Chain A
């Protein structure tokens, strides 16, 4: 007898938000990207972080059974250092590459994170990154409170990584 697909089953189910499990996985995803692509080991940022919202923000959308936005924020100088490390050049030699680099880092973090969620990542797609430059903006989340934010120390500067997911 031939095995027929069960069309009564949905193609995928929305993932259930699991902060205790996902927070360390998100942090691990960030650390791996910086370790492998920039040769930089990140550690927790101990200083107060409410002084600056960051000047560069990269957003990557997630759609499927993980639905929301992953964003990373940092200062202009931190973004230039990141691009310089990725390209193997001095931060002074970086121009618009810092935008591109930050977007690519966000993309890799999102991809790395969803790959660590067993069985979930197969049904989650990523958007191409969007970059926001400047500090005078606000975001209104539709995520329904399912937010994970971690702050890590990149070259003595804060790096914010935020995952906001829809219910």
Chain B
């Protein structure tokens, strides 16, 4: 894969910036990053933007990350995009639910840039 376009979904703008910085520190060749504050906003952005990778929080207002992944998987043109959850909701039940819905990876906050690198490179097959 050459240049990667990523979508970061989190209701915290600070956390979106930290995740983007972690992706760059991971050595990913990012062409651009699109940001959304919740799942509904992210689905709207995906109407007009192709992305190669999605990193999403779970605990968000309007539409949480689990519902976002559920809706993503129901759409033929979007279900192939790998999703990595980045969340404080690190309980086993949440991990199992997210992965069963179709998420490809799960990172618990607080996280190090190395953890982001490991998960992202794995789901992208790099």
Pair B109/A108 contact, Cβ less than 8 Å: yes
Closest Cβ–Cβ distance, residue A134 to chain B (whole Å): 21
A37-B18, A128-B61 known; A104+B108 contact, CB < 8 A: no
Question: Given the complex, which residues of B lie within 8 Å of A87, measured CB to CB?
Answer: 14, 17-18
Pair A104/B15 contact, Cβ less than 8 Å: yes
Give the CA-CA distance A88 to B21 in the complex, in Å.
10
Interface size on A, residues (CB 8 A): 28
B93 closest partner in A (C-beta): A122
Pair A97/B14 contact, Cβ less than 8 Å: yes
A113 closest partner in B (C-beta): B88
Closest Cβ–Cβ distance, residue B51 to chain A (whole Å): 23
Pair B14/A36 contact, Cβ less than 8 Å: no
Question: Given the complex, which residues of B lie within 8 Å of A124, measured CB to CB?
Answer: 91
A32 contact from B17, B18, B21, B110, Cβ within 8 A: B110
Q: Say whether A107 faces chain B, with CB atoms less than 8 Å apart.
A: yes
Question: Given the complex, which residues of A lie within 8 Å of B35, measured CB to CB?
Answer: none
Q: Say whether A126 faces chain B, with CB atoms less than 8 Å apart.
A: yes
Give the CA-CA distance A106 to B93 in the complex, in Å.
22
Give the residues from 108 to 128 in chain A that come closer than 8 angstroms, CB to CB, to chain B. Answer: 108, 110-112, 114-115, 121-128
B11 closest partner in A (C-beta): A128
Pair A111/B92 contact, Cβ less than 8 Å: no
Pair A100/B110 contact, Cβ less than 8 Å: no
Give the CA-CA distance A101 to B12 in the complex, in Å.
8
Pair A97/B13 contact, Cβ less than 8 Å: yes
Question: Given the complex, which residues of A lie within 8 Å of B92, measured CB to CB?
Answer: 122
Pair A107/B88 contact, Cβ less than 8 Å: yes
Q: Say whether B43 faces chain A, with CB atoms less than 8 Å apart.
A: no
Q: Say whether B60 faces chain A, with CB atoms less than 8 Å apart.
A: yes
Give the CA-CA distance A123 to B89 in the complex, in Å.
11
Q: Say whether B80 faces chain A, with CB atoms less than 8 Å apart.
A: no
A38 closest partner in B (C-beta): B110
Question: Given the complex, which residues of B lie within 8 Å of A67, measured CB to CB?
Answer: none
Closest Cβ–Cβ distance, residue A62 to chain B (whole Å): 12
Q: Mark B87-116, 1 if CB is under 8 A from A, else 0.
A: 111111100000000000000111110000
Question: Given the complex, which residues of B lie within 8 Å of A158, measured CB to CB?
Answer: none
Q: Mark A73-101, 1 if CB is under 8 A from B, else 0.
A: 00000000001001110000000010011
Binding site for A on B (CB under 8 A): 11-15, 17-18, 21, 59-61, 87-93, 108-112
User: Could you list some 20 contacts between A and B, CB below 8 A?
Assistant: A36-B110, A37-B110, A83-B14, A86-B14, A87-B17, A97-B13, A101-B12, A107-B88, A110-B88, A111-B88, A111-B89, A112-B110, A121-B90, A122-B92, A126-B59, A126-B88, A126-B89, A128-B11, A128-B60, A128-B61
Binding site for B on A (CB under 8 A): 32-33, 36-37, 83, 86-88, 97, 100-101, 103-104, 107-108, 110-112, 114-115, 121-128
